[in-house]
Structure 1
Amino acid sequence: MITGPSLPTVDAVALLLLVRHGHSTANADAVLAGWSEGVGLTDRGRTDVGRLASRLTDAGTDVARLVTSPLQRCRETASLLLPGASAEVVDDLGECHYGAWTGRPIAELVSEPLWRTVQDDPSTARFPDSEHYAAESLAEMAERITSTVRRIDAEVEAERGPDAVWVAVSHGDPIKAVLADAMGAGLAGLQRVHVDPASVSVVRWSGGRSMVMAVNSSGGAIRTHQGAAKDVPAGDNTIGGGTG
């Protein structure tokens, strides 16, 4: 887990803070929650989200828009993260539709042949159909979540200006998909990214280029007002690294 001293950001474009929901009852029970009903935060989850909320407060972050998955654990996280703020529920920020895998113990799933496909070739993985839960492929999930965050990011920048900061509360696999896409790795990089409950990752888009500013951060200051590098075209990264 990355717990560095700060989360570097720039003022050049709208900035997305991707927050995974806090530790849930399904996390505690080691089951794949998916779209199961009644999966809320544990005491640990509420405490961890409270710490993240304090980091946002300490940063003086003016959040232009707060959006969340419709699932209970994310809605609870959003309400604790920014108390009093109105969180917009966006269905397409929801968890992957795991179909017949929904609600099953992880210890059982690791012995399924599909598990290896999910790990080694996620672009071809599709979850089994179920009478009770929708099923989709990881590719369908990735397209759903990445197109949604890019659309909202463009809306936020158009409505609130290029220095706007917005927050999306979602789930592990969807957040990993956004980060892998932003890194240019696509689904091939999905399992090379790790995000913990109540962690924050930071992404920005500029000039047709995406930049991942932080991944899986659970400590340190969140800085959301840092000047852009001088003499660098929009969307370009600084040779040699950022100037801090």
Structure 2
Amino acid sequence: MLLVRHGRTGANARGRLAGWTPGVCLDERGEEQARVLAERIAKLPVAAVVSSPLERCVQTANVIAAVYEGLDVVTDERLAECRYGDWTGKELKALAEEDLWEVVQQHPSAAVFPGGEALRDVQFRAVAAVRDWNDRIAAEHGPDALYVLCTHGDVVKAVVADALGMHLDMFQRITVDPCSLTVIRYTPLRPFLLRLNDTGGEVDGLLPPPPDQKPANASDAVVGGGAGAP
């Protein structure tokens, strides 16, 4: 799974929490970020592009899908941003003065946004979506298939925490920049985090290995770390 955070928006640049605010789109920098990322991963055999339904993600996903002939973006509401409720649209520096801010920072599994959603529920729905798409893509395209999932910063962090077996209360230790690439390989026994918050460089190491180089058990970790990409 190629997990992508949407490109930068005007709300990001102004330090505002966009949430589900309609009409929040990529700014000029965000459009360039999406274009660069699409060009970077164009060599990878992507089987599907799935996105949060919010505009900034669909925009980013459409730029990526455009480099693959015949691929259309499919949306899944389970991948949408956290519903921040009364916090939506407010400046982050003002929100930092709220009592709930400390809970979000130190004990996010207990954070419930007034008039909105609990972060633990965001993680539950997002991980369920990932597992469903993993099964669907594997069934349709095989276990080595790659697909793009475009979503939001806190959603990426929640999915990564789950993949690493980390408690949600640790997820604020993870950084996810706009239009960064995070890659997780799921196997029957465990996920492997291959990349995190990647904003540049080659992607050849993400190509599926040839049959004669595949491990006997896809769920096994390479003892000693292995040789890396050829």
Report the Cα offset of residue 43 of structure 1. 0.3
Checking the alignment, whether the CA contact within 8 Å between 1:117 and 1:125 is kept in structure 2 is: yes
Please, which runs of 5 or more residues in structure 1 have no aligned partner?
Answer: 1-15, 130-134
Greater mean deviation of Cα atoms: 202-211 or 221-230: 221-230
Number of equivalenced pairs: 222
Match of 2:16 among 31, 37, 46: 31
- AA paired with 1:51? V
The yes-or-no answer on 1:104 pairing with 2:90 is yes
TM-score, normalized by length of structure 2? 0.93
CA distance in 2, matches of 1:94, 1:112: 24
Aligned-pair RMSD on alpha carbons? Answer: 1.4
Aligned counterpart, 2:40: 55
Distance 1:231 1:140, change over 3 A: closer
Per-residue Cα deviation, 1:137-195 (whole angstroms, up to 9, x for no partner) = 00000001011111101110111001100000000000000001101103022101110
Which consecutive unaligned segments of at least 5 residues does structure 2 have? none
Shift of 1:45: 0.4
In 2: Cα distance, 1:141 partner to 1:88 partner: 20
1:80 corresponds to which of 39, 49, 63: 63
Give the Cα–Cα distance (whole angstroms) in 1 for the partners of residues 63 and 226 of structure 2: 32
Measured in 2, the distance between the counterparts of 1:230 and 1:175 equals: 28
Matched, 1:42 2:27: yes
Counterpart residue number, 1:69: 52
Higher relative contact order (CA 8 A, sep 6+): 1
For 1:242 and 1:122, the matched residues in 2 are separated by 36
Is 1:173 matched up with 2:154?
yes
Q: Is the Cα–Cα contact under 8 Å of residues 34 and 98 in structure 1 kept in the other structure?
A: yes
Letter in 1 for 2:94: E
Q: Post-superposition shift, 1:234?
A: 2.5
In structure 2, distance between residues paired with 1:207 and 1:35: 34
1:234 aligns with 2:215: no
Pick the aligned partner of 2:137 from 150, 156, 178: 156
Cα distance, 1:243 vs structure 2: 1.8
**In 2, distance between residues paired with 1:225 and 1:113?**
46
Alignment-mate amino acid for residue 38 of structure 2: A
Cα contact 1:68–1:87 (8 A) shared by 2: yes
Matched-pair identity in %: 41
Q: What is the distance in 2 between the residues matched to 1:186 and 1:55?
A: 32
Distance (whole Å) between structure 1 residues aligned to residue 154 and residue 62 of structure 2 = 22
For 2:215 and 2:163, locate their aligned partners in 1 and report how far apart those are by CA, in whole Å: 23
